[in-house]
Amino acid sequence: MKRKTGQDPSITRHWRPATQAVRGGTARSEWGETSEALFLTSGYSYDCAADAAARFAGEQEGMTYSRLQNPTVEMLEQRIALLEGAQSCRTMATGMAAMTAALLCQLSSGDHVVAGRAAFGSCRWLVDTLLPKFGIATTTVDARDPDAFRAAIRPETKVFFFETPANPTMDVVDLQAVCGLARAHGITSVVDNAFATPALQRPLDFGADVVAYSATKMMDGQGRVLAGAVCGSEKFITETLLPFTRNTGPTLSAFNAWVVLKGLETLDLRIRRQSENALAVGRFLEARVARMLHPGLPSHPQHNLAMQQMSACGPIFAFEVAGRAQAHGLLDALALVDISNNIGDSRSLMTHPASTTHSGVAEDKRLEMGISEGMLRLNVGLEDVQDVIDDLDAALRAVGL
């Protein structure tokens, strides 16, 4: 029993998040390894044909194929569920696989989705392009306004889909208001919580039904692997999501799962230090740039709401300069901060969304989302914060700011 305490609910439910991040879901083999074992196998053998038949019939515990179960992947799923406060979790090959599966598994032709207009470029593509191809109607709204969701509801509305904070505009959605509205109308709320992670914000605590992640970001946190996750009730994960993923196969590799397990061990430490660093950098930049978009600063229009929902505001924020030429000039003048479209990394990274992450979104939709030609998105890492500030100061001066 000692070797499986990380999976025993009678024990793990009493653990606090920092402990769950290190030990939750741990299942040790007969060798008694302290670090999670990495099971690199595609299939499993059976003692007899009857055992194989019983497993496929769901009458016997055990694994059948790594598209469905893998010991390393299962440990990660249990750990994320514990951190999220969810009944269950399924992991995916990427964050976008998680977003796609979380939507398509529950939607059919004739259904309607209300989505936040400010979103990662690929998430907007799902809403604007993919779902309509399958006869699923979509409406985008200003997710900062709960009444906008209310006004968009139709009899056939099945899902609310939004990010908070949103990428890259840092819009903050009132989780309790919007998720409460969804439940009152029998609508499933799907929340992309990648910017915050469960270390800073747990949407299920505010009434969300489903929480989706790019675990590539803060959960790995060191720019190594791709991964995604979807959390929710046991019923949703088992009866709605699993049939979709079982047959479409957006499977997370065991190696990537193992890397994310290692990342979760330091998630709380990293995200809180990076949040502190980002706040210091945001305060420095605020006096130098045309517009600052950091929920942790009092200047953000939804600062109070962010502080109610989040224990800290994370490492990512955006700001604006005069236009694309000045934005690109600032990027080119950086010596320490890397030009990169990734986020959640322990290294400081900056990108110009209009020409990278959201370049596939039509210009009129980018402007509707609030993404200007002068917007830059910054992920503040674990470097000495003064070195980051010095690098930004030099780059700002190089472009006349």
Across the chain, which has 401 residues, the per-10-residue mean pLDDT values are 60 83 87 90 95 93 92 96 96 98 98 96 96 98 98 98 97 98 98 97 98 97 97 98 96 98 96 98 97 97 97 97 97 97 96 95 90 97 97 98 96
Q: Helix (H, G, I), strand (E, B), or coil: what is residue 247? A: helix
Instruction: Tell me what pLDDT residue 70 has.
Output: 96
* C-beta neighbour count of 99 within 10 angstroms: 27
Q: Helix (H, G, I), strand (E, B), or coil: what is residue 92? A: strand
CA distance 228 to 252: 8
Instruction: Tell me what pLDDT residue 3 has.
Output: 52
Instruction: Tell me what pLDDT residue 9 has.
Output: 73
Q: What are phi and psi of 270, to 5 degrees?
A: -65, -50
In sequence order, the 6+-apart residues with CB closer than 8 A to the CB of 123 are 96, 99, 115, 161, 163, 192
Q: Helix (H, G, I), strand (E, B), or coil: what is residue 153? A: coil
CA distance 257 to 253: 6
- Which helix (H) or strand (E) covers residue 316, if one does? strand 316-320
The four Cα atoms 87, 91, 97, 103 give a dihedral, to 10 degrees, of -10
The model's pTM: 0.94
Instruction: Tell me what pLDDT residue 5 has.
Output: 58
Q: What is the DSSP string of 219-265?
A: II-SS----EEEEE-HHIIIIIIHHHHHHH--PPPHHHHHHHHHHHT
